[in-house]
C-alpha cells in the first residue's frame, strides 16, 4: 500500500536537552514514515540538541528546525509550530515527544484513523483500559498523569479519557479553528487546552490506544507543581 498522505503530513517535536534521543527519533520516524516532514522546535538546549539536528539535515531533506533563543514553554513551541505548519499548507499535523514515550510506530495509526474515520482530532490515549500498553512507565509519572487527566476531565465535563494527552493528529481545518482565538497556556496545560477547545467546538475526537513508554534517555519534566499549575490554569480557561 502506498502511503501518499505522508507527503501532506508534518510531525512537530519540541525539544529541550534531548541530545541523547533526537537522532534516534528522527532515524526512526523517517525510516517508518516515507516522505513525511518533521519540524524540530528547540529552545536553545544547553546540550546542543539543535546542533545535532543541523548536522543531520543533509541526510533528511524534509527535516526542518526552528531554534528559539530561550526556553519559552511547551505551549508556545507548539503554537509556533502549528502556525508554521498551516503556513506551509500541510493537511495533517502530528505532535509528539522526542523521548520515545510516544512510539514512532504509532504515528501511522494516528493518521490512518483520522482519515478513515473522518475525525477532526485523534488522540493517542494512555488510559484506555485493557487496550493501552504502558511499558516501564514509572509509578510517579503514571500517578501524576492519571491524576491530572481525571481531575481535568471531571472539571471540564469533556468525555476524553486522556484529556492531557500530547500524542495526537489534527486535521488542518481543526487547527485553524482551535487557533482562531489566541491560546492562553504556555506549559504542560497546553495539551489540555487544545483538547478542551476541540471538545467545546463540537469536533469529532477519537481516542486510540498507544504503547506508552518511560522516556529512553534523560529526565522526565513532569512534576506535582506542573499538575497543580494545570488545574489552576484550567479555571482561568473556564471563566475567561
Encode pLDDT of 7-65 as tens digits.
999 999 999 999 999 999 999 999 999 899 999 999 999 999 999 999 999 999 999 99
Residue-wise over 206-236: b if at least 16 C-beta within 10 A, else e?
A: bbbbbebbebeeeeeebeeeebeebeebbee
CA distances from 37 to 13, 32, 91, 199 (A): 11, 12, 12, 28
For residue 107, give the C-alpha cell. Answer: 504515528
Q: Could you confirm whether domain 7-239 is CATH 3.40.50.1000? A: no
Please give the mean pLDDT across all residues of the chain.
85
Q: What pLDDT is recorded for position 1?
A: 42
Q: What is the mean pLDDT of residues 83-93?
A: 98
Residue 177's pLDDT band (cuts 50, 70, 90): very high
Q: What pLDDT is recorded for position 181?
A: 87
Residue-wise over 26-38: b if at least 16 C-beta within 10 A, else e?
A: beebbeebeebbb
Q: 155 pLDDT exceeds 50?
A: yes
CA distance 114 to 230: 27
Whether 18 and 218 have beta carbons less than 8 Å apart is answered as: yes
Q: 187 pLDDT exceeds 80?
A: no
Whether 146 and 164 have beta carbons less than 8 Å apart is answered as: no
Residue 133's pLDDT band (cuts 50, 70, 90): low
Q: What is the mean pLDDT of residues 114-121?
A: 97
44-48, 98-102, 136-140 — which is least confidently predicted?
Answer: 136-140
Q: What is the mean pLDDT of residues 184-197?
A: 84
User: Which of 23 and 72 is assigned the larger pLDDT?
Assistant: 23
How many other CB atoms are there within 10 angstroms of residue 184's CB atom?
Answer: 13
Residue extents of the structural domains in the chain: 7-239
Q: What is the mean pLDDT of residues 116-136?
A: 78
Amino acid at each position: 500500500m502506498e502511503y501518499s498522505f505522508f507527503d501532506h503530513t508534518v510531525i512537530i517535536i519540541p525539544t529541550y536537552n534531548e541530545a541523547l534521543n533526537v537522532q534516534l527519533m528522527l532515524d526512526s520516524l523517517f525510516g517508518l514514515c516515507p516522505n513525511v516532514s518533521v519540524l524540530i522546535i528547540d529552545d536553545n538546549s544547553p546540550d546542543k540538541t539543535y546542533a545535532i539536528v543541523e548536522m543531520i539535515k543533509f541526510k533528511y531533506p524534509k527535516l526542518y528546525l526552528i531554534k528559539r533563543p530561550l526556553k519559552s514553554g511547551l505551549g508556545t513551541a507548539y503554537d509556533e509550530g502549528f502556525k508554521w505548519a498551516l503556513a506551509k499548507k500541510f493537511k495533517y499535523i502530528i505532535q509528539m515527544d522526542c523521548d520515545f514515550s510516544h512510539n514512532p510506530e504509532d504515528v501511522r495509526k494516528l493518521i490512518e484513523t483520522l482519515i478513515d474515520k473522518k475525525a477532526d482530532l485523534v488522540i493517542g490515549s494512555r488510559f484506555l483500559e485493557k487496550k493501552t500498553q504502558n511499558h516501564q512507565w514509572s509509578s510517579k509519572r503514571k500517578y501524576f498523569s492519571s491524576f491530572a487527566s481525571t481531575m481535568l476531565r471531571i472539571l471540564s465535563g469533556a468525555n476524553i479519557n486522556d484529556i492531557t494527552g500530547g500524542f495526537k493528529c489534527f486535521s488542518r481545518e481543526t487547527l485553524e479553528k482551535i487557533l482562531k482565538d489566541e491560546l492562553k497556556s504556555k506549559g504542560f496545560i497546553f495539551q489540555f487546552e487544545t483538547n478542551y477547545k476541540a471538545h467545546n467546538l463540537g469536533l469529532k475526537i477519537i481516542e486510540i490506544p498507544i504503547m506508552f513508554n518511560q522516556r529512553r534517555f534523560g529526565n522526565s519534566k513532569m512534576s506535582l507543581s506542573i499538575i497543580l499549575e494545570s488545574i489552576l490554569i484550567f479555571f482561568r480557561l473556564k471563566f475567561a
